[in-house]
Chains A and B, each alone.
Chain A
Amino acid sequence: MNTWSISLSGISTVLSLELKQRIRSKKTFIALGVWFVFMGGITWLISQFFDVERSISGGEPQLSRWLFAMITMFVMGMCLLVAPVFSASSIVSDREHGVLATLQATKLSAVEIAAGKLISSWLVSLAFVVATIPYIAYAVWLGGVTLWQVCVVTMVVFVEVALICTIGLGWSAIASRAIISTVFTYLSVAFMTIITLIIFAAATAMTQTYEQVSDWRLPDSVARRYTAELNTWFAEQHSDNAAPPAPPLNECVWVQRDYAYNVTHTEYTWWLLLLDPFVIVADATPTSSFRYDGMALADDPLTVIKLAVRSTRIGESAGEDRCGTAQWYGDYYVQPRADGTFAIQRYGPHGSESPSISEATIIPESPFGGYNIDDPVWPWGMASNLLIAAVFFRLAVKRLAVPYGVLPTGQRVA
Chain B
Amino acid sequence: MTDGPALPSAAGLPASSAPAPGIFARQVRRTFGSVLAVADVSFVAPAGAVTALIGPNGSGKTTLLLMLAGLLRPDAGQINVAGFDMASHGYEARIRTGWMPDTLGTWDALSCAEIVTCYGQAYGMGKAFAAERARFMLERVYLAEYANAPARVLSRGQKQRLGLARALVHDPQVVLLDEPASGLDPRSRIELRDLLRALAEAGKTVLVSSHVLSELEEIADHSVFLQRGQSVDIRAIQRNITQRGWRLEALDPAALQAFLNAKNVPWRPGSAATTEVVVNLPNQESALALLKDAIAAGVPLHTIAPVSGRLEETYLSLDGERQ
Partner-B contacts on A (CB < 8 A): 1-2, 9-10, 13-14, 16-17, 20-21, 24-25, 97-99, 101-108, 402-405, 407, 409, 413-414
Query: Which of B38-46, B119-127, B220-228 sits within the interface?
Result: B119-127
Instruction: Tell me the residues in window 51-74 of chain B with beta carbons closer than 8 Å to chain A beta carbons.
Output: 62, 66-67, 69-73
- Residues of chain B contacted by A14 (CB below 8 angstroms): 122
Known: A2-B91, A102-B101. 17 other contacts (CB 8 A): A9-B121, A20-B114, A21-B107, A21-B109, A97-B107, A98-B101, A101-B71, A101-B101, A102-B166, A105-B97, A106-B95, A106-B119, A404-B71, A404-B73, A413-B66, A414-B101, A414-B103
Ordered by A's residue number, 9 sampled pairs between the chains whose C-beta atoms are within 8 Å are A9-B124, A97-B106, A101-B101, A105-B97, A402-B94, A403-B71, A404-B71, A407-B72, A409-B33
Task: Compute how far the CA of A14 lies from the CA of B114 in the bound complex, rounded to whole angstroms.
Answer: 13
- Residues of chain A contacted by B69 (CB below 8 angstroms): 105
A20 near B33 with CB under 8 A, answer no
Known contacts being A102-B101, A107-B95, is A1 close to B90, with CB within 8 Å?
A: yes
Q: B315 interface residue, CB < 8 Å from A?
A: no
Closest 6 pairs between A and B when the two form their complex, measured CB to CB: A98-B105, A24-B109, A106-B122, A414-B101, A403-B73, A99-B105
Task: Compute how far the CA of A38 lies from the CA of B73 in the bound complex, rounded to whole angstroms.
Answer: 50
A13 near B121 with CB under 8 A, answer yes
Q: B251 interface residue, CB < 8 Å from A?
A: no
- Residues of chain A contacted by B72 (CB below 8 angstroms): 402-404, 407, 413
B71 near A402 with CB under 8 A, answer yes
B105 near A97 with CB under 8 A, answer yes
Q: B104 interface residue, CB < 8 Å from A?
A: yes
A107 near B124 with CB under 8 A, answer yes
Task: Compute how far the CA of A104 lies from the CA of B33 in the bound complex, rounded to whole angstroms.
Answer: 23
B122 near A108 with CB under 8 A, answer yes
Task: Compute how far the CA of A2 lies from the CA of B70 in the bound complex, rounded to whole angstroms.
Answer: 12
Task: Compute how far the CA of A413 lies from the CA of B71 in the bound complex, rounded to whole angstroms.
Answer: 8
Q: B99 interface residue, CB < 8 Å from A?
A: yes
Task: Compute how far the CA of A404 lies from the CA of B90 in the bound complex, rounded to whole angstroms.
Answer: 12
- What 0/1 readout, one digit per residue, does chain B (222-261) give for beta carbons within 8 Å of chain A? 0000000000000000000000000000000000000000
Task: Compute how far the CA of A404 lies from the CA of B119 in the bound complex, rounded to whole angstroms.
Answer: 21
B71 near A104 with CB under 8 A, answer yes
Chain A: CB-nearest residue to B126: A9
Q: B102 interface residue, CB < 8 Å from A?
A: yes
Known contacts being A13-B118, A13-B121, A106-B95, is A402 close to B105, with CB within 8 Å?
A: no
CB distance from A47 to the nearest CB of B (A): 39
- Residues of chain A contacted by B122 (CB below 8 angstroms): 10, 13-14, 103, 106-108
Q: B110 interface residue, CB < 8 Å from A?
A: yes
Task: Compute how far the CA of A413 lies from the CA of B73 in the bound complex, rounded to whole angstroms.
Answer: 11
Task: Compute how far the CA of A182 lies from the CA of B178 in the bound complex, rounded to whole angstroms.
Answer: 32
- Residues of chain B contacted by A16 (CB below 8 angstroms): 118
- Residues of chain B contacted by A21 (CB below 8 angstroms): 107, 109-110
- Residues of chain B contacted by A20 (CB below 8 angstroms): 109-110, 114
- Residues of chain B contacted by A2 (CB below 8 angstroms): 91
Among A21, A103, A402, the most chain B Cβ lie within 10 Å of the Cβ of A402
Chain B: CB-nearest residue to A103: B122
Known contacts being A13-B118, A107-B122, A414-B102, is A25 close to B109, with CB within 8 Å?
A: yes
Q: Which of B32, B70, B107 contacts A403 (CB 8 A)?
A: B70
Chain B: CB-nearest residue to A106: B122
- Residues of chain A contacted by B170 (CB below 8 angstroms): 106
Instruction: Tell me the residues in window 158-194 of chain B with beta carbons closer than 8 Å to chain A beta carbons.
Output: 166-167, 170, 178
CB distance from A243 to the nearest CB of B (A): 78
Chain B: CB-nearest residue to A2: B91
Chain B: CB-nearest residue to A409: B33
Among B72, B95, B122, B124, the most chain A Cβ lie within 10 Å of the Cβ of B122
A107 near B123 with CB under 8 A, answer yes
Instruction: Tell me the residues in window 14-44 of chain B with beta carbons closer than 8 Å to chain A beta carbons.
Output: 32-33
- Residues of chain B contacted by A402 (CB below 8 angstroms): 70-72, 94
Among B106, B109, B178, the most chain A Cβ lie within 10 Å of the Cβ of B109
Known contacts being A1-B90, A407-B32, A409-B33, is A105 close to B71, with CB within 8 Å?
A: yes
Q: Which of A1, A9, A10 contacts B91 (CB 8 A)?
A: A1
Task: Compute how far the CA of A413 lies from the CA of B101 in the bound complex, rounded to whole angstroms.
Answer: 10
- What 0/1 readout, one digit per residue, does chain B (124-154) give for beta carbons within 8 Å of chain A? 1000000000000000000000000000000
A414 near B71 with CB under 8 A, answer yes
- Residues of chain A contacted by B99 (CB below 8 angstroms): 102, 105
